[in-house]
Amino acid sequence: MPVNELNVDAAIIFADILLLLEPLGTRLHFAAGEGPVIENPIRDECDVYRLEKNDIIASLSYVFSAISKARVALGKHLPLIGFSGGPFTLAAYLIEGGTVGNLARTKTFMYEYPQAWQHLMTLLSSACAQYLLQQKKAGVDIVQIFDSWLGYLSPADFIQYVLPYSKNLVSTIKEAVPVIYFGTSTGSLLTLIHQTQCQVIGLDWRVDLSCTWKKLDYQVAVQGNLDPVILLGNKENIAKQAKRILAEAAGRPGHIFNLGHGVLPETPVENVKYLINLVHELSGKIRS
């Protein structure tokens, strides 16, 4: 498996975040060159109340089966990370109908139909909690909530329209399994995300790790935050940027070195291996 090839310290099992919408009655397909397409998107408040409440665990049993098989294959000592989209991001896909753009539909709906929005976010946060708790039962050691589109919100909107549901989701699961919360372009929201009481906050490459962690009073672990584009370049620059991030973390416990978003498809595998080996070497020196 890739974990053996790359010599990483943990594995993550990826199931597309939109799969969780199918038990709610969403018809979904992936169009060539377009990405995900929601065939029956939410267009008004009545559509929210038509969402179904089918058995998530039964509907997505293949995901949990894959987790169980991966857990056995990985052995006892390599951590396995579970994965889910966050409530706001799932809502955005449902309302936008696929490609999210500037989230104009989502934010307009959020403002104009507050009761329907509350119903939708309550439903989605509950579905996420069930999904992630079942992943824990299937064998994951920690879970990551991937709330991709939070960065489109102002702090005030995040507080009013999202934070209560994110808090509820994290509080429901965090005693059973540790939680990483990640969103892109969330530099202005990180102290608010900390209020969810997640154990780890994922940082994208747009923030300074040292300054950000200090603002969080070092009260939460952080994950990140190398720009994935760096891995398309030469090893000299990879080393330079990796050393910079490790210097910003300054050897404090609670830093998980990672990219600031996913690996780009065109990334040379040899560059990924080089980065991992370099971080292992440099981290060992910091610890010693």
Average pLDDT over residues 46-69: 96
Residue 83: closest CA among 12, 172, 6, 25: 12
- Long-range CB pairs of 154-158 (<8 Å, 24+ gap) are 154/188, 155/188, 155/189, 155/192, 157/107, 157/110, 158/189, 158/192
Whether the upstream peptide bond of residue 225 has omega within 30° of 0, thus cis, is yes
Q: Which of 89, 202, 87, 83 is nearest to 144 (CA)?
A: 83
What's the mean pLDDT in 115-141?
A: 98
pLDDT at residue 288 in the model: 43
Residue 103, by phi and psi: left (phi above 0), alpha (psi -120 to 50) or beta? left
Task: Compute the average pLDDT of residues 29-52.
Answer: 91
Residue 286 pLDDT exceeds 60: no
Q: Which of 209, 109, 93, 98 is nearest to 147 (CA)?
A: 93
Please provide the average confidence, as pLDDT, over all residues in the chain. 95
Residue 144, φ and ψ in degrees, nearest 5: -120, 125
Task: Supply the pTM of this predicted model.
Answer: 0.95
Task: Give me 55's structure tokens.
Answer: 């058995």
